[in-house]
Amino acid sequence: MAAHLAPVSTERDLRLDLFRGIALWLIFLGHIPSNTVSWITIRNYGFSDATEIFVFISGYSAAFVYGRAMQNAGFVVAAARVLKRAWQIYVAHVFLFAIYLAEIAYVSRNFDNPLYTEEMGVLDFMKNPDVTILQALMLKFKPVNMDVLPLYIVLLLWFAPILWLLLRSPTLALLVSAAIYAVMWLFNLNLPSYPSGGWVFNPFAWQLLFVLGAWCALGGAQRLTRWLNSPVLIGFAVLYLVFAFLIAMTWYIPRLAVYVPAFVGEAIYPIDKTNLDVLRILHFLSLAVITVYFVPRDWPGLKHPAFWPAIVCGQHSLEIFCLGVFLSFAGHFVFTEVSNQVVTHFIVSFAGIAIMVGTAALLSWYKRVERQGPRPPAKQPGFAEGDVR
Amino acid sequence: MKRILLLVVMTVLAGAQGALPLAAKPVECRVPGFQVDRIFALPLVMRAIEAKRLSILVVGNGSSQLPGPTGNNVSYPVRLQAALAKKLPGVEVTVATEIQPRRTSIEAVKVMPKALAVTKPTLVVWQTGTVDAMQSTDPDQFSRALDKGINIARSAGADMIFVNAQYSPRTESMIALGIYAENMRWAAMQHEVPLFDRFRLMQLWSDVGTFDLYSATKKLDMAVAVHDCIGQLLADLVIEAARTPSGR
C-alpha cells in the first residue's frame, strides 16, 4: 500500500493529467448549449470527441491505481476500493441531479411562450417527481449531458474482475472486452433508459475503450512502443485524421457533401456515438498515436507553467468534471437570463475554466495540507488519492 | 402641449402599425445562408402545379400548431397555403393537417396511411424529431420510422418534405436533439427528400436578431410572426424543389 501512497512524481505520467484536464474543459465548453466557444472542441473536426479521451484516460488511471492495490493487497481489498469509488461517483451524480432539478423547476415556473408549447412538455416530469427521482436514482432517467458519470459507475462496477484478468492475461482480457463489444453490435445490447430507449453511452460498447486504457497502463503501451514509433503507423493516423476532418467539414458546409462518394457515405453513416462506432475508436486512436509521438512521456515542456492549469484540473477529475457540469448549467442560465451576445459566450467560457482551475488548485492545496496534518501520511484513507495517482 | 400632442399622434400611429395585418409587417424572414442542404426534386409536386391542383398534408406535432382559439388560423400550415396560393397564381392549393402533440415518429407512421387515404395529397410535409428527442426514442427505431414514413408517402403517390425540430434556446439543455437531427438529415439524403432545416433557420434568426427566441411571454405575437415566416420560407422550398430536375 505504501508504495502507491507515496508521491510518485517520477512515475506519474503528466500527459494523462494534461489531456484529461483539456478533455474536462472541452466537455464543459461543449455542454453549454449554443456556446460559440465550443467551436474549438475537437468534435467539430473529426469523428471522436472529448468523451473518448476521458474514458480512455480514466481506464488507464483506474488500472494504474487499483492494479497496484490488487497486486499488493489482493483482489478483495482492491475490489472494495473500486466499489467505494463507484459509490462516490454515484453520490456525485445524484448531487448533480439535484442541481438539475432546481434548474428545471426554475425554468418551468418562469418560462412561457406559446411558440414552445411542445418543448415545454419536457418539464412535465416535474409533475411526477416520485417516478422521475426513483428512475434517476436507478440511473435510468438521465438528463441531457448527465450520461458520463452513470457510464463511469457501470464501468467501475465490473472493473475488478476484468482487472484481475488483465493482471494475469492482458491479451485475454482485451479479447473478452472486444468480444463484449462485438456481441453488443450483433444483438443490439444496451441498458434500458426511462422513459424509453437505451443509455446514451452504451456501457457494453464504451467498456472497450476503458479496458483498452487499462491494458495500456498495465504494460500494453510498452509492448506497443516499437509500433507506435513506426512511420507507417503515423502516416496512417495522419491520413485518417485528414479524412475525418474532410468529412466533418461536410457537416457544416452540407453542399460539400455532394463530393463524398455515395459508397463512402453508405459505409460510414450513421457514425454511432451511443455504441462507440469503430470510426470513432479509430479516430481517437489516431489522435492518441500522434500525441504520444509528438509529446513523449519525459518531454520537459510538460513541466512548463503554461500547462499547469490543465494538469491540475486533470488531477482532480471527478470533482472538476462535476463542477464543469454544474458550470455548464450555470452558463446556459446566464445565456437565457442575462445576455446571449457572443462576448458573453467568451466571458462565460473563460470564467468557467478559471473557476475549474481555481477549484482544482484549492483541492491540491487541501490535499497537501491534509497530508501534512497531525496524522502520519500512511494512515490517510486510500480513496482520498482519487483515481488519478 | 405641442409635445404631448406629438406623443399622442406617434402613439396612435405606432398602434395603427401594430394593428396592420401580418403581411404588412416588415419582418425579414430570409436570412442569408439558410438553405444549406441540397434541394432534392419533388417531381409529383411539379406535375400537380402544372395540373393547377396542389394538395398538401402536414403531419406534425405541437410545434406545427399554435395554441388559442385563433391559433389554427395563423400557424405555419395555413401560412404555407397562403404563401403558395400567392406565388402560384391559378393553382388551387389546399393544405390539410394531421397534427397531434406528443406523438413520436413511430406513432405518426401508424396514422399516415389513413390520413393519406383521406386527404390524397401530392406532398406530405412531415414535421418531426422533437417528441422523439424528448421521449428518447431509440435512434435506430426513429430512423426506421423515417424510412417507413417516406415509403408510405411515396407508395401513396406523394412527395415528401422533412421539417426538423424548432430551435428552443430555453429548453436546449433539457432536450438532446442532436442524434435525431442527424438521423433526419441522413434519411433525407438517402431518400432524396428535401429537408426544411427549421432548427438552423430559427438559430440564424436568433443570432441575427430577427426574433428574440429567449423571451418569456404569454402573448402570441412573436409566435404568429415566426409561423408566418416558416410558412413563407417553406413555400419557397416547395417551389424551388418542384423546379429542380428530378434524378429519381
pLDDT single digits (tens) B194-238: 999 999 999 999 988 999 999 888 899 999 999 999 999 999 999
Q: How many residues does chain B have?
A: 248
- A330 lies in some domain: yes
- A29 lies in some domain: yes
**Residue A91 distance to chain B (closest CA, Å):** 21
Residue B33: its pLDDT value, please? Answer: 78
Residue B78: its pLDDT value, please? Answer: 97
Q: CB A118 to CB B218 under 8 A?
A: no
Q: What is the ipTM of this complex?
A: 0.85
Q: CB A257 to CB B189 under 8 A?
A: yes
Asked if A121 and B101 touch (Cβ cutoff 8 Å), the reply is yes
Number of domains in chain A: 1
Q: C-alpha grid cell for residue A253?
A: 458546409
Per-residue pLDDT, averaged over B102-125, amounts to 97
A–B interface: beta-carbon pairs under 8 A: 130
Nearest CA in chain B to A118: B62
Residue B6: its pLDDT value, please? Answer: 42
Domains in chain B, CATH or no CATH each: 35-243 (3.40.50.1110)
Sheet holding B123-127, edge to edge: B92-99, B53-60, B123-127, B159-163, B195-196
Does residue B15 surpass a pLDDT of 60? no
What is the share, in percent, of chain A residues with pLDDT greater than 90? 66
Asked if A115 and B225 touch (Cβ cutoff 8 Å), the reply is no
Nearest to B201 by CA among B35, B62, B24: B35
- A316 lies in some domain: yes
**Residue A268 distance to chain B (closest CA, Å):** 11
Q: A315 lies in which domain range? A: 21-43+298-389
- A165 lies in some domain: no
Residue A6: its pLDDT value, please? Answer: 32
Tell me the C-alpha distance between B123 and B54, whole Å.
Answer: 8
Per-residue pLDDT, averaged over B9-25, amounts to 42
Tell me the C-alpha distance between A148 and A23, whole Å.
Answer: 13
| Position B24 confidence tier, pLDDT thresholds 50, 70, 90 | very low
Q: CB A121 to CB B179 under 8 A?
A: no
Does residue B156 surpass a pLDDT of 90? yes
Residue ranges of chain A with pLDDT lower than 50?
1-10, 379-389
Nearest to B193 by CA among B231, B228, B241, B240: B241
Tell me the C-alpha distance between B170 and B213, whole Å.
Answer: 8
Nearest CA in chain A to B202: A115
Per-residue DSSP letters for A57-90?
A: HHHHHHHHHHHHHHHHH-HHHHHHHHHHHHHHHH
**CB of A114 within 8 Å of any CB in chain B?**
yes
Nearest to B155 by CA among B116, B184, B100, B101: B116
Strand boundaries in chain B, DSSP class E = 53-60, 92-99, 123-127, 159-163, 195-196
Nearest CA in chain A to B165: A119
Most B CBs within 10 Å: which of A28, A119, A336, A345, as the mutation test of the B interface? A119
Q: Out of A118, A188, A335, whose CB is closest to B61? A: A118
- A130 lies in some domain: no
Using one digit for the tens of pLDDT, what is the confidence trace for A92-131?
999 999 998 888 888 888 888 999 999 998 888 778 888 9
- A38 lies in some domain: yes
Residue A233: its pLDDT value, please? Answer: 94
Q: CB A197 to CB B138 under 8 A?
A: yes
- A108 lies in some domain: no
Per-residue pLDDT, averaged over B137-151, amounts to 94
Q: Say which DSSP state A219 is in.
A: I
Tell me the C-alpha distance between B91 and B71, whole Å.
Answer: 26
Dmax (CA) of chain A: 69
- A312 lies in some domain: yes
Residue A375: its pLDDT value, please? Answer: 60
Residue B11: its pLDDT value, please? Answer: 40
